[in-house]
Amino acid sequence: MMNTLIPSSVRIVEVGPRDGLQNEKQAIDIATRVQLVNMLGAAGLKSIEAGSFVNPAWVPQMAGSEEVFTQIKRDDKVRYVALVPNLKGFERAISVTANEVAIFGAASEAFSKKNINCSIEESLDRFKPVMDAAKERGIPVRGYVSCVISCPYEGEIAPQKVAQVSERLLAMGCYEVSLGDTVGTGTPAGVNRMLEAVLSVIPAEKLGVHFHDTYGQALANIYASLQMGIAVVDSSIAGLGGCPYAKGAAGNVATEDLVYMLNGLGIQHGVDLNKLIAAGQFISDKLGRQSGSKVAIATNNQ
């Protein structure tokens, strides 16, 4: 018997064009980034993080996100999301009509400092003007909390800290918080402990999960999260990704692998697996390497 908390449908947030491509060593041209986003939308994904508006000196791979947003073929059913660290980033995103923005904080002081050059408290202060501007324009804001399991600089992170930062982001007006295992060290037991703490103060409807697959635990961690009632899952086409400020972190769970697992569980998601595999093939060919999705590799070998 399946656990009754397991949701009947899941919203997938595709982060490949941002989390995936931000971590690539090679430069990726705008046309490729645009075509990838278009193919992901055509596969049925409804939330696509199409780029970020951070300081390009910090993450050069995301320079030119304005052009990406301007050139994509918009589909009314898709929300094109922009990652923004501050008001400057928000204004850049709005100038090219991002439908939604995502701000990003952390449960670790050291990671906050390395990734966005300020303390957790200072980051929340920086987000306030973004929240005000977004409210004024009716733009939904998603909040990320990084390092929900461990931090590359501090080690293990207390679940209570994750709960506190998540609560603060929601209180500021984020409609949802995505809990990020940035380093990808988590296992289902640790994810259970972390989610128990967060769910004691926040309802499951306001949470998403974001697992990097460094230790091969992402699908198991997602399954553990589904069992606790989480119905929003971030993933990255072809398993691309990582964070330049979390050295050694691998990509997110591959969207193809997530969709295959959801199919097996009979959970609705609205995505066409074959079209998704084609999108993954497209970007893997452009990057000149094999896909990070086991499902894509297995399908192509049939």
**Residues labelled as active-site residues:** 243
Residue 19 makes contact with Mg ion by CB under 5 A: yes
Helix segments in 60-146, DSSP class H: 65-71, 87-95, 109-116, 120-137
Computed from CA positions of residues 20, 25, 27, 32, in that sequence, does the dihedral angle turn out positive or negative? negative
Which token pair is 276?
Answer: 């998704």
Residue 117 makes contact with ligand HMG by CB under 6 A: yes
Which listed option, Mg ion, ligand HMG, none, makes contact with residue 235 (CB within 5 to 8 Å by class)? none
Residue 141 makes contact with ligand HMG by CB under 6 A: no
Measured distance CA(142)–CA(206) in Å, rounded: 10
Going by C-alpha positions, the residue among 237, 244, 221 that lies closest to residue 45 is 237
Minimum gap (Å) between residue 221 Cβ and ligand HMG: 13
Measured distance CA(54)–CA(35) in Å, rounded: 22
Which listed option, Mg ion, ligand HMG, none, makes contact with residue 260 (CB within 5 to 8 Å by class)? none
Number of H helices, E strands in the chain: 11, 10
Residue 104 makes contact with ligand HMG by CB under 6 A: yes
Tokens 């093939």, residue?
Answer: 281
Computed from CA positions of residues 235, 269, 17, 206, in that sequence, does the dihedral angle turn out positive or negative? negative
Q: Which residue's beta carbon is nearest to the bound ligand HMG?
A: 180
Cα 115 to chain centroid distance, Å, stands at 16
Total number of residues binding ligand HMG (CB under 6 A)? Answer: 25
Q: Which is nearer to ligand HMG, 35 or 182 (CB)?
A: 182
Q: Which is nearer to ligand HMG, 69 or 144 (CB)?
A: 144
Total number of residues binding Mg ion (CB under 5 A)? Answer: 1
Q: Which is nearer to Mg ion, 19 or 176 (CB)?
A: 19
Applying the rule CB under 6 A, the residues between 6 and 25 that interact with ligand HMG are 19, 22
Q: Name the segment binding Mg ion (CB under 5 A); options: 13-21, 96-104, 107-115, 168-176.
A: 13-21
Beta carbons within 10 angstroms of residue 232's beta carbon? 23
Write each residue from 46 to 75 as x if it is in contact with ligand HMG (CB under 6 A), else as -, in one continuous string: ------xxxx--xx----------------
Q: Which is nearer to ligand HMG, 63 or 278 (CB)?
A: 63
Q: Which is nearer to Mg ion, 80 or 111 (CB)?
A: 111
Instruction: Say which amino acid occupies 275.
Output: K
The CA R_g of the chain, rounded to the nearest whole Å, is: 18
Q: Give the side-chain half-sphere CA count within 13 A for 211.
A: 29
Residue 182 makes contact with ligand HMG by CB under 6 A: yes
The residue ranges that bind ligand HMG (CB under 6 A) are: 19, 22, 52-55, 58-59, 85-86, 88-89, 92, 104, 115-117, 144, 146, 180, 182, 210, 212, 243, 245
